[in-house]
Amino acid sequence: MKKILIVVLLPFISLVLSGQAGITESDSGVLRAGFAKADITPAIPVKLNGYASRKTYSEGIHDPLTVRAVAFENGGTRILLVSTDIGSYSAEVFPVFQKAIMDKFGLKESEIFLSTIHSHSSPILSLNSETGDPNNIEYTRTLQQKVLAVTGEALKNMKPVLTGTGRGSSPVGANRREMKPDGSITLGRNPYGVTDKEVLVMKITGEKGNTSGILYDYATHSTSLGPQNMLISGDVLGLSAQFVEKILGKDVITPAFAGASGNIDPWYRVLPGFNTEEGWIPEPVLLATMLGEEVVHVCRDIKDVHPGGMIRTAFAVLECPGKKSSDTDNPSAQPESQTVPVNITVARIGDDVAFVGFNVEMLTEIGMQIKSGSPFRNTFVITHCNGYSGYLPPAELYKEGGYEITSTRFEIGSSDMVVRKALRMLYDLK
């Protein structure tokens, strides 16, 4: 049934590929996993990510930022998933971090998922002394060392585990493509627009059943706070992970991942700050708590945990056509003759769990299409993963316009190429 659906949704589109890595796998043996985390809250004022209108340094800390890592291994094949409470690993920064991880720990490209929760109240990362702020460059160098440290700790902590998955639903994310009376699309709230409400949870326990960590995936921007906010915060996804760890216990580590949410914002969005009015629950905290409680409910309902699980991984770079510079308001857009790279990383654990990472802000319709077509029952779609190439909209939205369309670097039809390639890679893991 799924194969028929894929044919209908995805007509043949020629693919331009570079850098396809071979599939690596482990067919047998004991599945092991290890967790680690570290505080990455900046010790100095920094320029904040996400809003070009902000020009000054951060003015304090509302809640700490964290890097969380989980490593899996079976028969010599490994997977490293890193969740970082920052905005994005840019195309400039990611290769430096990736090479450091590969060189120090011998991991392959296909075994690394270096991702962010896309908080717009976190430091901009930069290693460029000509364009980057000195404080942010200092922060980025410190962050690199902490990412390496938690990677090493997670790999060191690996022990035999049992795993189980479950899913829930949350109303925290809302479609933000609001149509005005004149037919134009603006950033706002479209309560009737497409959203992916699924909260996907993977529970990892020790052999005696004690929970050591959980992974969860949800499709929303972390933008409940807007450009007027100058406080450091993990925003909705970061605060939700803090909540889950508080409830489940200090020894449980909970990496959170941003699903396909290029057009999904929190229900309350771009607020000027945390409302301190007496009796008021600040919206970022309220939304994070709602999401976190659903994660905890799902985790506690997962009773079926099992050992083992084949690991297979693959990586590819898909070169998609760049949008004509005359067709976009984005000054970084590529001329028609050039391409925009999409890094696609896929991995499986056992028969029903897969991870697929993309270095783009994928709109939610695309992520839902990938999950629907995947041969794995539980497919974690992870965006802002292994670099950053900007917004990837589905073809049908180009005619509507709006922020995601004017700012994308991708030519229409690129999303179909990405879906087709990602599904082919997932099927090749079977």
210-229 pLDDT, tens digit per residue, is 999 999 999 999 999 999 99
Answer whether 423's CB lies under 8 Å from 369's CB.
Answer: no
Candidates 220, 222, 202; CA nearest to 212 is 202
- Which token pair is 198? 């699924």
Q: Which residues contact 57 (CB under 8 A, 6 or more apart)?
A: 45, 46, 47, 135, 230
- Whether residue 328 is predicted with pLDDT greater than 70 in this model: the reply is no
Q: How far apart are CA 75 and CA 162, in angstroms?
A: 16
Which residues neighbour 275 within 8 Å (Cβ) at sequence distance 6 or greater? 282, 283
Q: Which residue type is seen at 269?
A: R
Two structure tokens written together for 276:
């301190």
- Where do runs of H (alpha helix) occur along 191-282? 235-248
User: 286 in helix, strand or coil?
Assistant: helix
pLDDT tens digits, one per residue of 25-65: 545 589 999 999 999 999 999 999 999 999 999 999 999 99
State what percent of residues in the chain have pLDDT above 90.
89
Nearest to 165 by CA among 34, 297, 348, 353: 353
Phi/psi at 67 (nearest 5 deg)?
A: -110, 130
Q: What is each CA distance from 7 to 3, 11, 238, 263, 419, in whole angstroms? A: 6, 6, 38, 25, 12
The confidence score (pLDDT) of residue 324 equals: 80
Question: Is 90 exceeded by the pLDDT of residue 416?
Answer: yes
Q: Is 399 helix (H, G, I), strand (E, B) or coil?
A: coil
Q: Yes or no: say if 107 and 101 are a contact pair by the CB < 8 Å rule.
A: yes
**pLDDT recorded at residue 12:** 34
Give tens-digit pLDDT for 162-195.
999 999 999 999 999 999 999 999 999 999 999 9
- Confidence tier at 23 by pLDDT (50, 70, 90): low
The rounded distance, in Å, linking the Cα atoms of 83 and 215 is 10
Q: How far is CA 73 from CA 157, 159, 253, in A?
A: 11, 9, 18
CA contacts within 13 A on the Cβ side of 28: 0
Q: Which distant-in-sequence residues (6+ apart) come within 8 Å of 18 by Cβ?
A: 317, 319, 341
Residue 21 predicted with pLDDT over 70: no
From the number of C-beta atoms within 10 Å of its C-beta (0-12, 13-18, 19+), residue 103 rates as exposed
Q: Mean pLDDT across the chain, nearest whole number? A: 92
Query: What pLDDT score was predicted for residue 28?
Result: 58
Type of residue numbered 7? V
